[in-house]
Amino acid sequence: MKSPELIIFDVDGVLVDVRESFDRTILAVVRQCTGRRVARGEIQRWRSRSGFNDDWALSYVWIRQLGGRVRFADVKRLCNGLYWGRNGDGFVCRERWLLPRAVLRRLARRAELAIFTGRTRRELRCALQRFGVEEFFACTVTQDDVRRRKPDPEGLRRILRGRRPDAALYLGDNVDDALAARAAGVPFLGVLPRNSVARRLRGAKLRRLGALALLGHVAELESWLDRE
């Protein structure tokens, strides 16, 4: 493809490492509600299915499948309690930013940057402010900004604002990201660590859904664009 005018990023697993935040929250809530320890790798199996981009929904359905009797509202409350902690000292503190600032700055010089994420507005704002990268993103769309969540392409279309879809590029790591991109007509790049469970489970699926390539790390985007 030609150099995109607009580069749109998913957040979790692409810009931010959430293995010790959202993933740990899911494991803890499932154990708390069922009394059972579940394997971290199973989270990737859930995320390899459409409809589980939302960790609250993932946790709720998993708990119910294991026989736990709990309301969705209670799962959401437990997840938020563990993630945020009492004063922002929860698992959120364990997140890591993945895209080096120098690379981010160079990307911002070659294209407009945006975010389309399943995070809430509060969760996204916290991450961007904590890592000091708000200035690089011209537009951000969260689950609070759309009526229909991924895999619906509403969020991507809001970011496009009438621009040609093929002038943009969307980077994501799960099936719903790829489905949203395909529905919006936006070229898609998968981001899945090499030799990871996520890549083994989802790599071929993302390819079938139209991924132009699978990057092992978001920082590889720069060299991929140069090759193209």
User: Between helices 72-84 and 55-65, what is the axis angle to 10°?
Assistant: 120
Over the stretch 105-148, which tens digit does the pLDDT of each residue have? 999 999 999 999 999 999 999 999 999 999 999 999 999 999 99
Supply the pLDDT for residue 51: 87
Strand partners of residue 16: 12, 97
Residue 143 to residue 216: CA distance in whole angstroms:
26
Residue 159 to residue 166: CA distance in whole angstroms:
13
Residues in the chain: 228
Over the stretch 179-220, which tens digit does the pLDDT of each residue have? 999 999 999 999 999 999 999 999 999 999 999 999 999 999
Element (H, E) at 31: helix 22-34
CA 103 from centre of chain: 19
Where is pLDDT greater, at 228 or 90?
90
53 has pLDDT over 90 = no
Can you give the pTM of this predicted structure?
0.94
Supply the pLDDT for residue 88: 87
Q: Which residues contact 142 (CB under 8 A, 6 or more apart)?
A: 117, 118, 119, 120, 121, 123, 124
Reduced to 3 states (helix: H, G, I; strand: E, B; else coil), residue 38 is coil
Residue 36 to residue 27: CA distance in whole angstroms:
9
Supply the pLDDT for residue 138: 94
Supply the pLDDT for residue 1: 61
2 has pLDDT over 80 = no
Contact between 58 and 47 under an 8 Å Cβ cutoff? The reply is: yes
228 has pLDDT over 70 = no
Supply the pLDDT for residue 151: 95
Supply the pLDDT for residue 87: 86
